[in-house]
Each structure stands twice: as C-alpha cells, then as structure tokens.
Structure 1
Amino acid sequence: MAAQKINVGVIGFGMSSKTFHCPLIVSSPHLQLHSIVSSGDKCTQVYPQAQHVKTSDELFASKEVQLVVITTPNELHFKLAKQAMNAGKHVVVEKPFTVTSKEAEELVELSKRTNLVCSIYQNRRWDGDFLTAKKIVEDGQLGRLVEFESHFDRFRNYVKAGWRETDAPGSGMLFDLGAHLIDQALHLFGKPYSVYAVVENQRQLKESNIDDDFTIIFRYKNGPKVLLRSSMLARQAPVLRFSLRGMDGSYVKHHLDPQEDQLKAGQTPLTPGYGIESEERWGTINADVKGLHVVGQVETLPGKYLDFYNNVAETIMKGDLSHLAVKPEQGYETIRMIEVIRQSSDEGGKTIIL
C-alpha cells in the first residue's frame, strides 16, 4: 500500500507561490496540495483539486493540513510561522526566513520545543550551476581555492509594482537575492572570519527607497576570499554567475539556472528535460587536474529544486529533524549575517570581525 501523502496548505498565491511552490508540491510523490489561502479565487482555476481558504487562521484550524508553506510579504513570515507551529503544523517559509535574527532565533527554539519541521525555501542550493561549482570546489579541481565570486544580477531601471520594492521591513535586494547568495556561501564555506560590505541604493528612484546594489566580501582564515555581488543595473549579457580561482586554474560560469524560466513557462520537474542547461550555457575551466591540463566546457549538473520539497517530506515522515537539508539554525545564520552586513555598510564599509 502506498504511503499516505502529506497534506500541504499554502499561504499566498503570488509570484513565488505560483512559480515555485505549488508546481513543486504537486510534483512531489510525498505531498498533496490541499489548500491555498488567497483573497481571490484564481488559485482554484489553476489548482481545482485544492481548497480555497480565505484566512490563515482557517488553515491553521484544519486538522487535515500537516505542512504550511508561507509565501507572504517578508514582514509576515515570523508571525505566521509562529502561529502555524503553535497550531501543530510543520512549516516551510519563503526566504528570507525572518526580518530580524531575534525573530529567527525564536522560531529555531519553537521548532526544537515542538519537534516540528521549520525550513526555509533556499532553493538556490539546488541550482545546477551552484551544484556544479560546489562539486568543483569540494573535489579540489582548481587546487587550493583562493577566490569564489558569486553574482546574482538583474537589469531593472524602474520600479516594479508590488511589495518587494516598497520601503518596508525585509525589503530590498539584500533580503531578496542576497539571502540566496549568503546562504550558498555559508552552506559551502561556513561562517566567515570577517565581513566587509557596501549596500547602496544606486537607482535613487523617487518611488522606491530600497537597496538595489551590494558588494559583500567574506574572508576565511583557512579558505578563499568570497565575493558576493548583486546589482539591479547590470545590463551586460550574458550575466556572470560564478568566477572561481585556484592555485591550479579557474572556472567561469555565465547565465542563470534555467529552472525558474522553465517553471514560469509551465514546465514542472516531471517534464522531460527539466533542469537541464543547454550546452552553449555551460561554464568553462582552465586548470591542471591530476596531471592533465584541462581546457574546455564543464557540463552543468541538472538543477533539482524538487529535492528541497522531497527532503522536507522525508524529514516529516522520518520524524527526525537532523535529516532536514535547510535547518532553521541555518536560516538564523543567514539573517544574522544580513545584520552584520548592514552594520559594515552603515559604518562606511568597516570590516567586522566575527
């Protein structure tokens, strides 16, 4: 007999919910999209099998829903995650986890106390380009790594409608794309020894007072310099994604992972070819590897966003929080690092020793 699927309730039906969460949930063999909280009824047109719920309180009261996914504006993450766990629900929170480290710490403790899953949707750990860069680093294919540069850039010289570009707690590029880059760096290299950062509003548009550009440098006592960069005014094509330099060579990767565009086009992880990057977008390597001088392309590993949700489901089924890939403690570390980055920038680019 097949195992019973975990019923999932999603709060919100905006871009994140429609593009990422709902398509991945319905693609998982372990999950069932049970309910969607939305002010409108468009969600029922796209997912007629799911119940349309008007309020989060109604969702929390449901005895059938076991996992709640929160895709609301950032400043509501903490309140809703806390309410969900207090109602006995496992939780996935869209990144950023919270808007302060104090809030994040409270959710960490609540997860421990209730033995409930509390995870953060850091899907970019499963980008094909990051998986490839990670393997190159871990396998030592460039020798001793001295520099790891990671970009997540866009070109938008106007204000896009929606809450993400309003001056509110948790808004701006640092909490948005920065949360991904910081999480990837911490996942790969751990906590840095020192942090230097400049966070700016370069567009200076009257309608938007958010930060839209940042440069962050993590330094490690026995590791590489890690440079994290994002700009809303990067019009070059193709955009740089990774530049890795080691004692034995370099690896350079342009273009972003294809999964987001594939999901927006209506594909799912069950679609043939999903997550596969075309050859012309592969990165290049020039390095001495095991006695051979290797120059050429490196096939990008397949992207696997579905692995995030399958891991959450398996953790719930096992009842073992140590199995969780993106732990709430890691969410706390990312938010705490954002606060340190803000401090460095606010103090004129001061290097903060951790």
Structure 2
Amino acid sequence: MSDNIRVGLIGYGYASKTFHAPLIAGTPGLELAVISSSDETKVKADWPTVTVVSEPKHLFNDPNIDLIVIPTPNDTHFPLAKAALEAGKHVVVDKPFTVTLSQARELDALAKSLGRVLSVFHNRRWDSDFLTLKGLLAEGVLGEVAYFESHFDRFRPQVRDRWREQGGPGSGIWYDLAPHLLDQAITLFGLPVSMTVDLAQLRPGAQSTDYFHAILSYPQRRVILHGTMLAAAESARYIVHGSRGSYVKYGLDPQEERLKNGERLPQEDWGYDMRDGVLTRVEGEERVEETLLTVPGNYPAYYAAIRDALNGDGENPVPASQAIQVMELIELGIESAKHRATCALHEKWMVQFAPSILLLRGDFFSQCAFFLSAEESHFQTINLCLADLLAG
C-alpha cells in the first residue's frame, strides 16, 4: 500500500466529528478523503476539502478508498462492517464492536478469510490515567493488585432523545461506557474467572440501561467496574490497592474535551492531564504518600498504529480478537443481570442449574450458574464445578 492511505468515514455524528475525523486528518500518511453524510453543510464547515457522499455504498464502491471507518449507531456496526469487508476494504469500527458476540465472531472470520485488517477503536487504552496506571503495574510499584475499581460516572438526570438512550439494540451505557472499562480491565488482567453484574434504569423515563455495577472475579483479585448517569459528586476514576501500595486518581482524561472544543492535531502539549494521582507506598512500617504526575494521553497513537499496520510496518493496535473478549463479557454481563447470577467463564460451556434443569449451551463459551431456591423467591448464586458435573 502507498504511503497515502485514503480513508472513508461513514457518518458525521458525535464520534466522527469529535474523534475520528480530527485524529485521521492529524495522522501523517492518512488522508481523510471522503465522508458519507446526509448533512454536507455540517461536514464542509469543518473539512472544506473533503468529498461528501450521501450513502455508505459510494465508499464501498470507490476503488480509491483503502480504509473505511464506522462510528455509527451500534446496531449498524455489523452490516456496515460486513459490507465494507466484502468490498475489499480495511475496516475500523468504533466500540462496541457489534451488538452481539456472534456478529463479532462472524466479522473476525470474514476479515481473516479476505486478508483485511479489522480493528476496533478502543481509544481509552490511550487515556492519560490508564497509561499511568499501566506503567505502575508493569514496574511492579503496587505489587500484586488485589483490588481494582474503575468508574465512568456522569450527571445527566434528564433522558435525552438520542439513539444511545433509546431502547433499541446496543443502546444504554452497558454498551456505551462499559466497553471502555471492560477493555481496560482485560488489557491489565486478562479475562476474569467469573462476573456478577447489576444493570438498571434509574432515571425517570429511561428506556435503556443508565446504571451498571460489575464485579469481575479473579483467583486473588476483585475488579469493580461502575457507571451511572446520576452522580453529581465526583467519583474517583481509579482506586487500586496492591501488596506494596495504592493508587487513586480523580478526573477524566482531557483529550475528548479538547477534541470536542475543535482543537486540531498535532500539538506539542497534547494529552497532558493537569490532575495528578496519589500514590501510597509501603516502606517497612511506614506509609509514604506522594503526588504522582500523570503520563500524557495519546489518542493519536491509535491511527498511527493503523497506518503502520496497513503498510506492513506494525501490528493492528486493537485486533478483532481482543474486541471479541469485550463482547463476551458484555453478553455474559447481560445474562448475569437477567438471572441475578454470578456467571463463570469457561472455554466450552455455559451451565444453568435449577432444581430440575441442567442446560448446556456450547454457543456461549461460558458457564453461568444459578440456583432458584424452592423456599425463596429470589435467585441465589452457587459455585459449580463443570468437571465434577460432567464426570458425575
């Protein structure tokens, strides 16, 4: 592929305008060539030299487009990505990858069969605070992490008339905000042994999930992921406790706000987070508390890596196989919330256990155990050993 990779962008809503268009345009070697939008005036106000077409099909049929980026409503990710791949294009899909796990697996298989790069925009791997935390763990500063808490809380008490807050497939913050936190947890710790999730609609008039609380269980670690639209007071972004110390960070990475304000790349001070974290280290019998400078965030690194991957000079920064793991936890979390159960991941089976029913489902690639007590009206979680069940 030539040094000049021509990019087609589908849609010009919030994600395209705020993230993808400026990041693509600011990446050397990428050309923001064509945008599919019904509002040409809106696009031209920001990008006067970019070609605007009315339908995504024009991007699929354009032989000069190398890469198609899909930051559209979640339930359109699968059909648009499939059509783009079948047209021979490389594809970037915004998170969440798809609405269902089966869709994600189908796209991954299709991309591999066609030899196309398929990547998912999990941009918060390049948040300032996450890069700082990732460095602390890599250096062993906190020792073995026993407790990890991550929040994505907002205060939006009024339900807005937007697709993300309507009741359709892939709506609500379990699909909007939780993928960020799930992806970060998997990046740091891998897949959990089990998870317990509570999903709710707490605001008057809410049509989709506006609250989630997830507990990811590891052999000697608990990961808490929390999101709500009703948090007026500031919550800590991260609370992390390990065998050698703790790290607490408030505030949110500033890159989205700067992009939303229309700032263009590159900039020398890009990604600097003015809010530092607090590191508490144990030295002998003493606890030493210090302010820890936050590493600059780096959203531009994603599209730079995409460019390198397409040119054969690097790896896909977020391959579909990694996004599939996020989708696995999204679906498992929905099952957990639905049954008020603790669901355990397993390579081949999901087990649902009730007094007279044992159901094995090989399509879910997980094991979900719950027990309905004959004496009580609520579900009680129990531990099941799949090996013992199959052996018995």
TM class by smaller structure: over 0.9
Question: Could you say what the CA RMSD is over the residues aligned between the two structures, in angstroms?
Answer: 1.5
Check whether the contact 1:60–1:89 (CA below 8 A) recurs between aligned residues: yes
> Which residue is equivalent to 1:216?
214
Please, which runs of 5 or more residues in structure 1 have no aligned partner?
none
Name the CA shift for 1:30/1:292 in 2 (closer, same or farther; >3 Å): farther
What pairs with 1:94-105 in structure 2 (closer than 5 Å)? 94-105=94-105
Name the CA shift for 1:269/1:188 in 2 (closer, same or farther; >3 Å): farther
Letter in 2 for 1:211: T
Check whether the contact 2:3–2:311 (CA below 8 A) recurs between aligned residues: no
Name the CA shift for 1:183/1:7 in 2 (closer, same or farther; >3 Å): same
What pairs with 1:109-188 in structure 2 (closer than 5 Å)? 109-188=109-188
Check whether the contact 1:6–1:32 (CA below 8 A) recurs between aligned residues: yes
Q: Secondary structure at the match of 1:303?
A: coil
Alpha-carbon distance in 1 for matches of 2:287, 2:224 = 27
The structure with more radius of gyration: 2
Which string of whole-angstrom CA distances, capped at 9 and with x for unpartnered residues, describes residues 304-326 of structure 1?
00111111111010077xx1120
Pick from 225, 243, 247 the counterpart of residue 222 of structure 2: 225
Check whether the contact 1:141–1:289 (CA below 8 A) recurs between aligned residues: no
> Which residue is equivalent to 1:339?
331
Name the CA shift for 1:18/1:295 in 2 (closer, same or farther; >3 Å): same
How many aligned positions are there?
Answer: 343
Letter in 1 for 2:312: K
Alpha-carbon distance in 1 for matches of 2:304, 2:160 = 33
1:76 Cα offset (Å): 0.4
Greater relative contact order, per chain length (Cα 8 Å cut-off, separation 6+): 1
> Which residue is equivalent to 2:189?
189
> Which residue is equivalent to 1:32?
31
Which string of whole-angstrom CA distances, capped at 9 and with x for unpartnered residues, describes residues 26-66 of structure 1?
11002000000000111022111210011111110001110
1:274 Cα offset (Å): 1.6
Name the CA shift for 1:291/1:52 in 2 (closer, same or farther; >3 Å): farther
Letter in 2 for 1:151: H
Alpha-carbon distance in 2 for matches of 1:291, 1:4 = 57
> Which residue is equivalent to 1:242?
238
> Which residue is equivalent to 1:295?
289
Which string of whole-angstrom CA distances, capped at 9 and with x for unpartnered residues, describes residues 132-153 of structure 1?
1111122111122100111111
Letter in 2 for 1:15: Y
Q: Percent identity?
A: 41
Check whether the contact 1:315–1:324 (CA below 8 A) recurs between aligned residues: yes
> Which residue is equivalent to 2:320?
328
Alpha-carbon distance in 2 for matches of 1:339, 1:128 = 28
Which string of whole-angstrom CA distances, capped at 9 and with x for unpartnered residues, describes residues 90-120 of structure 1?
0000111000000000001011111111111
Alpha-carbon distance in 2 for matches of 1:269, 1:188 = 28
Which string of whole-angstrom CA distances, capped at 9 and with x for unpartnered residues, describes residues 177-201 of structure 1?
0011011111111111111111111
Q: Secondary structure at the match of 1:297?
A: strand
Which string of whole-angstrom CA distances, capped at 9 and with x for unpartnered residues, describes residues 272-312 of structure 1?
3220011xx11101113699954211111010001111111
TM-score by length of 1: 0.94
Name the CA shift for 1:292/1:326 in 2 (closer, same or farther; >3 Å): farther
Dislocated runs of 4+, deviation >6 Å: 289-292
Check whether the contact 1:142–1:288 (CA below 8 A) recurs between aligned residues: no
Check whether the contact 1:68–1:89 (CA below 8 A) recurs between aligned residues: yes
Check whether the contact 1:284–1:295 (CA below 8 A) recurs between aligned residues: yes
Deviates more, 1:121-130 or 1:262-271: 262-271
Q: Secondary structure at the match of 1:152?
A: strand
